[in-house]
């Protein structure tokens, strides 16, 4: 009943310590010194599989420390019938909601204009708007989008959420379901936030066609994956004022190359894929719960549907 840790090597000690603090009896091995292949029942991976996982004949489950599994699902060496779980960690969810609320509040309070005025020693008197004056749309109303939506609605923003299927939504959130509802979801949005998984359906979703439905000068926040965004369309939308400002945490190439025009664009705020990070301290609880489920032959929590891609 051994667990093989095959995620980011620099985090191995933290994960080992967090898992052992919850259950000191765990047998945790490290990639690539796992001992006998048939000892391994459960593998913890990061964003990608580090090698061929089909060599473990008793493997019952694969657990990612990442919430997004788009890279993992494209890794070679994933045994086709072993269930995969993605990470749901309350630390990750809290951090993502903070990131979204922080940038939406900055927009509400005119932060960029005030900072620009200060740099010029200009006394810029503005009348603050109320949260109820802004409509925020969240693409992806899952673990992360649902929590951010609930927190924004509590503050008083008008909040819309877009999902693939019908679901219960937090109080104060209007739900829009499926591709046909996307134009209505986007209509006159002041802020559009992307918290979708990257799949064939969602790639390039942040494009001219979506931007044209939003309110002129809307704020775009992409904290999901770089490939959700059509970069040329964003630059064009910023040039004509259709999008007023963009906050980007994720990019097609990470780290963002030196020569990329986003670095120097005055209307783009960049953060280096740090909106939310899985913490071993809280994430270990989710992993241990799934290890126990796998050992008991039960369905994993947060199991990935390989056909849907998330
Ligand atoms: P979930 O799987 O919990 O939620 C995904 C949501 O997207 C669901 O509401 C789902 O709809 C919706 N969705 C998926 N496909 C479509 C579609 N084609 N049309 C409409 N809605 C769709 O994921 P999480 O909330 O945990 O994570 C979301 C993403 O955030 C991750 O995949 C990852 O890429 C990104 N992320 C970024 C981080 C960062 O630091 N920048 C950190 C962690 C995650 P339904 O509910 O109907 O299935």
DSSP labels for 155-219?
Answer: HT-EEEEEESS-----TTEEEEESGGGHHHHHTT-SEEEE-----TTTTT-BSHHHHTTSPTTEE
CB atoms within 10 A of CB 264: 8
Range 2-89+278-295: architecture per CATH: 3-Layer(aba) Sandwich (3.40)
CB atoms within 10 A of CB 230: 19
Residue 124 pLDDT: 97
Protein residue closest via CA to atom 19 of ligand 1 = 164
Residue 191 pLDDT: 98
Range 93-270: architecture per CATH: 3-Layer(aba) Sandwich (3.40)
3-class DSSP state of 91: helix
- CA–centroid distance, 201 to ligand 1, in Å, is 12
Query: Tell me: the pLDDT tens digits for 158-174?
Result: 999 999 999 999 999 99
Give the relative orientation of helices 12-22 and 280-295 as an angle to the nearest 10 degrees.
60
| 2-89+278-295 and 93-270 in the same fold | yes
| Residue reference for tokens 């799934």 | 290
How many helices (H) and strands (E) are present in the chain, helices listed first? Answer: 9, 12
Residue 197 pLDDT: 98
Q: How far is the C-alpha of 138 from the C-alpha of 193, rounded, in Å?
A: 5
Positions in the chain short of pLDDT 70: none
User: What ipTM, to 2 d.p.?
Assistant: 0.99
Residue 7 pLDDT: 96
Catalytic residue (choose from 225, 228, 242, 279): 225
Ligand 1: residues whose CB is within 6 Å? 67-68, 92, 96, 140-145, 162-165, 167, 195-199, 201-202, 223-225, 249-250, 273, 275-276, 310
- CA–centroid distance, 197 to ligand 1, in Å, is 4
Catalytic residue (choose from 71, 90, 260, 273): 273
Residue 3 pLDDT: 98
Residue 225 annotated to the active site: yes
Contact present, 62 and 45 (Cβ < 8 Å) = yes
Q: How far is the C-alpha of 49 from the C-alpha of 63, rounded, in Å?
A: 10
Residue 187 pLDDT: 98
Give the domain ranges of the chain.
Answer: 2-89+278-295, 93-270
Residue 198 pLDDT: 98
Question: What pTM, to 2 d.p., does this model score?
Answer: 0.97
Q: How far is the C-alpha of 257 from the C-alpha of 170, rounded, in Å?
A: 39
CB atoms within 10 A of CB 255: 9
Residue 228 annotated to the active site: no
């Amino acid at each position: 009943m051994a667990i093989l840790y095959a995620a980011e090597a620099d985090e191995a000690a933290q994960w080992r310590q967090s898992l052992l603090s919850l259950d000191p009896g765990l047998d945790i091995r490290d990639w690539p010194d796992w001992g006998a292949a048939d000892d391994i029942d459960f593998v913890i991976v990061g964003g990608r599989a580090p090698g061929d996982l089909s060599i473990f004949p008793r493997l019952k489950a694969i657990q990612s420390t990442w919430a997004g599994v788009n890279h993992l699902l494209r890794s070679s060496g994933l045994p086709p019938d072993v269930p995969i779980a993605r990470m749901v960690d309350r630390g990750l969810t809290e951090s993502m909601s903070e990131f979204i609320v922080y940038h939406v509040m900055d927009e509400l309070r005119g932060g960029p204009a005030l900072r620009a005025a200060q740099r010029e020693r200009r006394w810029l008197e503005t009348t603050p708007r109320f949260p109820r004056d802004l409509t925020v749309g969240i693409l992806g109303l899952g673990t992360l989008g649902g929590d951010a939506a609930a927190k924004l609605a509590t503050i008083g923003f008008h909040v819309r959420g877009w999902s693939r299927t019908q679901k219960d939504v937090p109080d104060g959130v209007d739900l829009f379901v499926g591709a046909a509802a996307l134009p209505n979801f986007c209509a006159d949005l002041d802020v559009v936030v992307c918290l979708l998984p990257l799949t064939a359906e969602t790639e390039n979703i942040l494009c001219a066609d979506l931007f044209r439905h939003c309110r002129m000068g809307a704020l775009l926040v992409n904290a999901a994956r770089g490939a959700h965004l059509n970069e040329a369309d964003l630059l064009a939308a910023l040039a004509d004022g259709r999008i007023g400002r963009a906050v980007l945490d994720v990019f097609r190439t990470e780290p963002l190359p030196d020569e990329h025009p986003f670095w120097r664009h005055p209307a783009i705020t960049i953060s280096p894929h740090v909106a939310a990070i899985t913490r071993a301290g809280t994430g270990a609880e989710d992993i241990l719960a799934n290890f126990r489920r796998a050992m008991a032959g039960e369905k994993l929590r947060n199991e990935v549907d390989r056909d849907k891609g998330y």
